[in-house]
Chain A
Amino acid sequence: MKRLSYLLAGILVTLMLAACSSDSNANSEAESESSGENTTSDTVETGSVDTSVEATGDEEVMLDFWIHQTGEDETNAYIELIDAFNKEHEDIHVNAEVIIDDGASAYSDSINAALVAGNLPDVMAVDGPYVSSFADAGVIQPIDDYVDEETKSQYVDSIIQQGTYNDKLYSLGAMEASVMLYYNKDLLDEAGIEPADSIEEAWTWDELMENSKKLTKEDRYGLNLFMNYGVGEWLTFMGAPLAWSNGGALISEDGTKVDGYLNSPETIEALNYVKELFAEGVVTDSPGEMQFEEGNAALALGGPWIAVSAEDAGLNWGMMPYPYKDEKVSPSGSMAYAVTNNTENPEAAVELMKWMTNEESTIKISKATGMPPAQKSAFENMEKFNELPWSVMKEQVLETAHARPATPAYPVLTDAFAQSFHAAALGEDVESVVEQQVQRVERELKRFEE
Chain B
Amino acid sequence: MKGNSSSAKQLTDRDQYKAPSKPSIKKVPPKRKKRRKSQAFQEAVTGYFFLAPALILLGVFLLYPMGAAFYYSFTDFYILKPDDISFIGVENFSYIWQDAQFRQAFWNTVYFSVIVVPVQLAVALGLALLINKKLKFRVLFRTAFFSPVVMSLVVVSILWTFMYNPNEGLINQLLGIIGISPQPFLTSPDQAMNSIIVMSVWQGAGFQMMIFLAGLQNIPNHLYEAADIDGASNWQKFLHVTLPGLKNIALFIFITISIAAFKLLVQPMIMTQGGPLGSTNSLVYHIYETGFNYRDVGYASAMAVVFTLIVLTITIIQRMLIREERG
Contact = CB atoms under 8 A, between A and B. Distances in A.
Interface of A: 3, 5-6, 8-13, 15-18, 20-25, 105, 108-109, 112, 115-116, 118, 133-134, 136-139, 230-232, 284-288, 291, 296, 411-412, 415, 419, 422-423, 426, 428, 436, 440, 443-444, 447
Given A5-B68, A428-B277, A412 B263 contact: no
Given A17-B287, A23-B154, A137-B80, A411 B69 contact: no
A138 B62 CA distance: 31
Closest 8 CB pairs of A and B: A12-B65, A137-B80, A24-B270, A9-B68, A286-B187, A288-B168, A116-B82, A286-B166
Interface in B138-190: 153-154, 157-158, 161, 165-168, 184, 186-187, 189
Contacts of B153: 20
B14 interface: no
B295 A426 contact: no
A73 B156 CA distance: 29
B66 A16 contact: yes
Contact of B79 (A5, A116, A118, A426): A116
A358 to B, nearest CB: 30
A411 B80 CA distance: 12
Contacts of A447: 76, 78
Contact of A18 (B79, B158, B265): B265
Contacts of B301: 13
Contact of B69 (A16, A412, A428): A16
A28 to B, nearest CB: 14
12 contacts: A8-B65, A11-B65, A16-B308, A21-B154, A112-B79, A115-B82, A286-B165, A288-B165, A411-B295, A419-B275, A436-B100, A447-B76
Contacts of A428: 277
Nearest to B155: A23
Interface string B186-205: 11010000000000000000
Interface of B: 2, 60-62, 64-66, 68-69, 72, 76-82, 95, 100-101, 153-154, 157-158, 161, 165-168, 184, 186-187, 189, 263, 265-266, 269-271, 273, 275-278, 284, 287-288, 291-297, 300-301, 304, 307-308
A137 B81 contact: yes
Contact of A105 (B82, B265, B278, B293): B293
Contacts of A291: 167
Given A105-B293, A411-B295, A24 B80 contact: no
Contacts of B68: 5, 8-9, 12
Contacts of A136: 80
Nearest to A230: B273
Given A18-B2, A22-B270, A9 B69 contact: yes
Contacts of B66: 12, 16
Contacts of A9: 65, 68-69, 72, 77, 297
Contact of B304 (A16, A23, A287, A411): A16
A6 B82 contact: yes
Contacts of A17: 263, 265, 284, 287-288, 304
A422 B277 contact: yes
A411 B293 contact: yes
Nearest to B77: A9
B276 A422 contact: yes
Contacts of A415: 293-294
Nearest to B308: A16
B273 A232 contact: yes
B294 A444 contact: yes
Contacts of A112: 79, 292, 295
A8 B60 contact: yes
Nearest to B68: A9
Contact of B275 (A10, A108, A422): A422
Nearest to B188: A426
Given A5-B64, A9-B297, A13-B304, 12 more contacts: A3-B82, A12-B68, A17-B263, A24-B157, A24-B269, A25-B273, A137-B78, A285-B184, A415-B293, A419-B275, A422-B275, A447-B78
A230 B158 CA distance: 13
A296 B100 CA distance: 38
Q: Which of B101, B186, B297 has the most CB of A within 10 A?
A: B297
Contacts of A105: 292-293
Contacts of A286: 165-167, 184, 186-187
Nearest to B76: A447
Nearest to A16: B304
